[in-house]
Structure 1
Amino acid sequence: MALTLVTVMAAAAAPAAAHGQTPDRARLAQRIALTNSDNGRSVTAGLGDDIEVRLTGYHKDGLTWTWSTPTSSSIVLRRTTGGTSPNGDASATFRTEHDGTATITAQRRCRPDQGHLCPLVITPWKVTVEVK
């Protein structure tokens, strides 16, 4: 029984060591979801967590408000997926790679239908992520 317990503990510590964590920091990775309403928010994440950003564009009065693909300010977060869709939505997934602080940003811009004019407005979106 004691040998089995040691084997299980060593197996649980191995993935943590692969991410630069000591065994006492070993934990399950989490997925953090962020949307339009999270603008200005700060979140805390652990090493190996995924952060999913889904921003929703919209069309109104001949104007389509579109988001840029979210980006990270530093190597603390590595973008693993990202893109935009014709309806103005944008999404990205980031993996936490290092301890530290990073920001995820995107911008919303107007795209007019034929015969319409857009206001000269760019709306920023930003979330601060602290990885520990």
Structure 2
Amino acid sequence: MKTSKYRAVPLAAGLALAVVTAAVPAAAQSHHAPAAQRVTLTNVDDGRTVALAAGDDVSVMLTGYRSQGLNYTWSIPQSSTPDVLRRTTGGTTPTGSASGVLHAEKLGVATITATRHCRPDPGRICPGAVLLWKVTAEVK
């Protein structure tokens, strides 16, 4: 009986020590290295400025639309400074929507832009205006 008591105490103490030791690095790591974040931008974010940290991603989702025989379509979002904010994916849809993901590489400022164009149905005429969508990204 005495033997099992002595075995149980060191085992329990050892397990408690292992749990405490394993928890310390995870807590310390989350304190010093915050997880990368993803910022999502849409049509309504035109003119906005966003603050990012290196390693963050920006997801841009612009929605095209159709009205009275006119199709309003977006170009794929671009970065003015790819060494600061690099596009990793991008594409368009048949409905005129466009999307892209941009990754914050290093400190600096970049402008994300896309343009909206009109494509008319046969027999229709588009207005001559092209809309510029623009967001300033500050990587700090």
TM-score tier, shorter chain, comes to 0.7 to 0.9
In the alignment, structure 1 residue 8 sits paired with structure 2 residue 25: yes
Between the two proteins, the alignment pairs up a number of residues equal to 121
Q: For residue 55 of structure 1, report the CA deviation from its aligned partner.
A: 0.2
When the two structures are superposed, what TM-score results if normalisation uses the length of structure 1?
0.83
What SS class does the counterpart of residue 118 from structure 2 fall into?
A: strand
Paired with 2:55 and 2:29, the residues of 1 have a C-alpha distance of: 15
Alignment-derived partner of residue 16 in structure 1? none
Q: For residue 5 of structure 1, report the CA deviation from its aligned partner.
A: 6.6
Alignment-derived partner of residue 66 in structure 2? 59
What SS class does the counterpart of residue 43 from structure 1 fall into?
A: strand
Which consecutive unaligned segments of at least 5 residues does structure 2 have? 1-16
What amino acid does structure 2 have at the position aligned with 1:103?
A: T
When the two structures are superposed, what TM-score results if normalisation uses the length of structure 2?
0.79
User: Structure 1, residues 57-76: CA drift from partner, whole Å, max 9, x if none?
Assistant: 10001000000000001111
What amino acid does structure 1 have at the position aligned with 2:29?
A: A
Alignment-derived partner of residue 45 in structure 1? 52
Q: For residue 7 of structure 1, report the CA deviation from its aligned partner.
A: 7.5
What amino acid does structure 2 have at the position aligned with 1:127?
A: V
Among 99, 119, 124, the residue aligned to 2:127: 119
Output the aligned Cα RMSD.
2.2
In the alignment, structure 1 residue 96 sits paired with structure 2 residue 104: yes
User: Structure 1, residues 3-57: CA drift from partner, whole Å, max 9, x if none?
Assistant: 9379826x838xxxxxxxxx84x21111100000000000101111110000001
User: Structure 1, residues 73-128: CA drift from partner, whole Å, max 9, x if none?
Assistant: 11111111101111110000011100111010000000000111111110000000
In the alignment, structure 1 residue 29 sits paired with structure 2 residue 46: no
Paired with 1:99 and 1:6, the residues of 2 have a C-alpha distance of: 32
The structure that has the greater radius of gyration is 2
Alignment-derived partner of residue 72 in structure 1? 79
What stretches of structure 1 move > 4 A for 4+ residues in a row?
Answer: none
Alignment-derived partner of residue 11 in structure 2? none
